[in-house]
Structure formats: structure tokens, C-alpha cells
Chains A and B, each alone.
Chain A
Amino acid sequence: MNIAVFVKQIPDPAMPGELTAEHTLKREGKLILDESDSYGVEMALQLADKAGGGEVTLISMAPNNEVSGLRTALAMGAAKAILISDDALAGSDALSTAKVLAKAVERAGDVDLVLAATESTDGYTGTTPAQVAELLGWPSLTFAKHIELGDGKATIQRQTEAGYDIVEAPLPAVVSVTAGVVEPRYPSFKGIMAAKNKPVDEVKVADLGLTTEQVGWAGARQQITNVAAAPAREAGEKIEDDGAAHEQIVAFLEKLKVI
């Protein structure tokens, strides 16, 4: 069972975000593994383990040959990584990113299953997994909160508005996982040491058979026409609980005629 996992390396979401002059998110500093992707990595490791073998390959597109987030996921137990880093990729939208990732899956070769988060924490377009599936001509099982593999098929519980559906597809397939599907492991010291020597295949856009017109600014075909501060919401009353704060909440609810 060979599993490829898409991992995004993002600016620390705890830090305030900033836009560049081109209105894209600043990604200059150190990037970290998107926490949303740690669930996919953990799921891949567990599924490969259960299947009795196979490799987990990470696929990441990032500026400046960034590997710090990849090393975290390698330390969790992934075997190797493909890193696509190219100045031509600056400004890439979700579809351009999907084109790059789909080509990287083909480069990895012999992939039975692709796992991805439902959306990244920084851009959260949320279309990349299904776009990749369409480009590869594969089935996609999206919003999985549980996955089972067997008989050459993936069976998932797919989140719906009303509850969940049981959906299955023959492999190879793309599955996007919601957070909370598994508890991501912390890398062990041994894992962190081993990660330093795991292979990272660094590739450029041209190595994937794509042209620079298909990706980056050229591929995005969108223009940011305005950026403005949202009207701020005013804070109201703030009180310290002295043991009777609940009475003020009751009074507030009464005033609003909720009770």
C-alpha cells in the first residue's frame, strides 16, 4: 500500500498574517507543517501499517525549498518526500497547485491512495483534493471522518449536512480527511534524527512537464481589485466573575427576549 500525502508548509497561524504588495499571503519566514495535514500523515502511517507495508510519500509545494514542515512529517514516520519549489509558482491558485500536485503524484509512481486535508489553514480554498482527482481521472472521496481499506477499495464515512454517508471507491483514489479523524503522533527523538537523512526529491515546474504559463500568476487568471479593513465590531461590557456573573447573563438574555 503506497500512500502519497499532500502536506502544506504555512506561516505559523498563531502569528498575525500579512499580505505582500501583490496581495498574496507573506510566506517569507520559517514555515511549519499545516496542522490540518498532520491528520493525513497520521492516517497514512496507520493505513500503511495495517496493510502490512508500503511507503508513505509526502508531496509539498513551497517557496524557497522550504523543508522544515516536511521534516516534521518525515519525523512522524513518512519514508520520503517530493518538494516542488520554483519561483514560477509564486501566485499560484488552487487549480495551478492541483496541476503541480497531480504531476507529482505521477512522478511518485505506483501510488494506491492520495490523502489530503479538506482545506489548508492559510488559504482554505478547499478544492485541491477533488481538482487533483479530476486531473488524474481518479475517484475522490471527500470529507472523510473515517477510512477503511480492503479488497482494493477505500470505504469512508463522508461528512454530510445531515450526518454521514458510507461511500466507497476502488483504488487508486484521492481521499480528503477532516481534522480529528485520528490523533497525530508526536515525532520521537529517534524519528527526528532519522528524518534528517530521509530523501527529499527537489523538483522544478519543468521537471513535471508543466509550463510556467500554466501556474503562478499566469495560471491564476484573477486580479485582486480591492483590499479594505472590515468594519470593526465594538466590544461591549466586560465583567470579572465575582460569583454572580450568571445573574448579569440572565438579565442580558431577558433584555434580548431570548428567555
Chain B
Amino acid sequence: MKIWIYAEPAPEGDKPATSTLELLTKARELGDTVEAVYVGPNADAMAPALGEHGATKIYAVDRGDALAGVVGAAALASLIEANQPDLVLFAQSYDGRDALARLSAKLDRPVVTNGTDLKVDGDKAVVGTAIFGGNTLVDTKFEGPGPFLAAIRPKSFAAEPGGGAAATVEQVSAPDLGRAGEAKVLEHHVEEQEGPKLEEAAVVVSGGRGLGSAEAYEPLVEGLAHLLKGASGASRAIVDAGWVPYAKQVGQTGKTVKPKVYVALGISGATQHLVGMKGSDNIIAINKDGEAPIFSVADLGVVGDVHKVVPKLIEALQARG
């Protein structure tokens, strides 16, 4: 099976995204040929890491000021016609989803998204997804002609180097984008984050509706995250309410995190949230409602008021210095 990966740069721009390396690692296990299509600058700088994780070749396209996913879909469509991959994998990222969606319409091929597992059955790909908050696992097999198109959630597979040489880079000229190319990126804004990234932190502290108000998020959630050298996250409820930005959302429609310790403050544990965090090694939950579903996955559950427990916890941690 010939597997292609839609490769993305990490936000810093100097190395491939971890999610790309995860996909390559899995593709290396399942495919005979693994290649990448990369949209962005510095393709030569990406080649060693992409090669080490399994790609033998990179088709590189410059995005200019267009959206990466729009360029990616157009480039993939023409490259696929010439090279006939069987399966094209995308990370469940902002640009990955754009590229996947547009490509699916261009090729008239169905998609499976939110994959958490991937298998090969004969000449068909089978994508595993978790539904109902991760309670039920579903395998979906592509029928009909390929290429099969799938998006996989970050952290579904480990990224492990396989010792491959740097991938060869073939620069491809940007295809005609039509009206889709009229969308132009004018500015990039980097929101400075203190501490580790949500997806990479060893400790994640998240807040939910039980915080009572947007004002409680900083002292309780960010305060505790800071002391534990962790990252702060949120349930969908408080993102929807506008208390914190979407980038902090943990759950089905947000990010998947698998930290060593996940601390849920005032989060009831809707299935939407559980699917994004129940792979954590250890879960601590504090919630007023003793019947809250979050307690069914918590290793340590505290039935109590976050406004009482967390300030004391912060004080105790500060006292330790």
C-alpha cells in the first residue's frame, strides 16, 4: 500500500509538527511506500525528521500568502493523479481539515475524520474512531475506489524515529487555485503562552462551568497550572460561553490531551469532554456534584467546591516552595 501523509510544519516553523511524525510512524508500519506532501517554507529543513520517521520522498509546495489547506488540496489533487497513492492521511488540525475537505470534493471521495486507529485489510484501509465520548469504538472500511482519505486525531499514535535517511525533496510549483486562492493570509498573530503547550504538557489543569464565572479561571485554573508547571485547558461549556478561547478546549471538538496528570476543576464530564482527556495517565477531579460523570474516570475524585478546595491546594503547594 502506498501511503501519503499531508505534512505540516510545527507552529515554530522550523521542524515538522508532532502530529505529522505520528502519522509517518504509523504509515511506516502499514505501508510499502510512505511519502509526504508538504505545504510551507523550509522543506529542506524538514527532510531529515520526515525521513527519520519514514518518508522517503517529500513533494514540497510553497503556500505564498494563500491558506495552507487550499494549496495542499490543489497540489494533492494533481500529484495524486500522477502518482496514485492508496491512502492519504491528514492530522486532525486546522489546516489538515481544510486540505482534506477540499480534496475530498475535488476527487469526489468520502472522508473519515477523528480517527484514533488505523489498520489495513487487504487493499482497503480501516479507520477506527471513538464515539459517544469514547465509550464505543467503530471501525469504518472504505469501499469504492481510492485514494482513501482520513484525518487522525493527534496523539493517536506515538512518534518514533525509524532510522531512515533524510527524505528527498521534490519542489512542486503551486497549482492554480481558482477563486479559493482569493483567500489571503494578511497577518500572523502568535499568542504568547506561558509554560508548556496544552498537547505536550505533563500536567493539564482544566476548568468548567463549575468555576461559576470567567473571573475564576485565572486564579484557580491558571494559578494551579502554573504551580504544577502545567498547561491550562477548558471544557466546551466555558469556551462556548466565551470565557476562554477555543484553542484551550479539551474534548471531542477540541484537543486531545494525554498528560501524566489531568486535573478537572468544576467539570461535570460530558461525553464531549471525556473523549479528549480520558487517555490521561492519572485524573484528579473536583466537582460539587457527587453524581457527575467525571468521577467515573477519576483516580482521585473530590466532591467539593472548587472555590474552597483549590485556594487551599494552591496555598499548600506555595508553602512547599
Contact = CB atoms under 8 A, between A and B. Distances in A.
Interface of A: 13, 16-17, 19, 23, 35-36, 39, 93-95, 98, 118-119, 121, 124-131, 133-135, 137-143, 145, 155, 157-170, 173, 178-180, 183, 219-230, 233, 235-241, 243, 245-250, 252-253, 256, 258-259
Given A16-B132, A140-B98, A222 B112 contact: yes
Given A121-B272, A166-B185, A225 B140 contact: yes
A167 B135 contact: no
B70 to A, nearest CB: 8
A168 B65 CA distance: 11
Contact of A238 (B17, B178, B290, B308): B290
Interface in B210-258: 228, 236, 239-242, 245-247, 252-253
B261 A256 contact: yes
Contacts of A247: 316
B296 A235 contact: yes
Interface stretch (B25-33, B49-57, B102-110): B102-110
* Residue in A23, A39, A130, A252 whose Cβ sees the most chain B Cβ within 10 Å: A130
Given A222-B140, A230-B135, A169 B304 contact: no
Contacts of B94: 142-143, 158-161
A17 B65 CA distance: 43
A142 B228 contact: no
B101 interface: yes
A96 B215 CA distance: 43
Contacts of B106: 134
Contacts of A179: 236, 239-240, 246
A230 B136 contact: yes
A26 B242 CA distance: 31
23 contacts: A125-B113, A126-B97, A126-B101, A128-B101, A139-B70, A139-B183, A157-B189, A163-B189, A165-B188, A167-B184, A222-B110, A222-B112, A223-B141, A227-B137, A228-B136, A229-B135, A236-B300, A237-B299, A237-B301, A239-B300, A241-B286, A252-B300, A258-B228
Closest 10 CB pairs of A and B: A241-B304, A130-B101, A163-B191, A127-B101, A236-B299, A134-B105, A162-B11, A221-B144, A169-B183, A238-B301
Nearest to B139: A226
B206 interface: no
Nearest to A240: B303
Is chain B's interface secondary structure helix, strand, loop, or mixed overall? mixed
Given A180-B239, A228-B136, A134 B302 contact: no
A144 to B, nearest CB: 10
B4 interface: no
A167 B183 contact: yes
B91 to A, nearest CB: 10
B174 to A, nearest CB: 16
Is chain A's interface secondary structure helix, strand, loop, or mixed overall? mixed
A248 B111 contact: no
Interface of B: 11, 17, 67, 69-70, 73, 92-94, 97-98, 100-102, 104-106, 108-114, 121, 126, 130-132, 134-144, 178-191, 202-203, 228, 236, 239-242, 245-247, 252-253, 260-261, 270, 272, 278, 282, 284, 286, 290, 295-305, 308-310, 312-313, 315-317, 320
A163 B17 CA distance: 15
A142 B136 contact: no
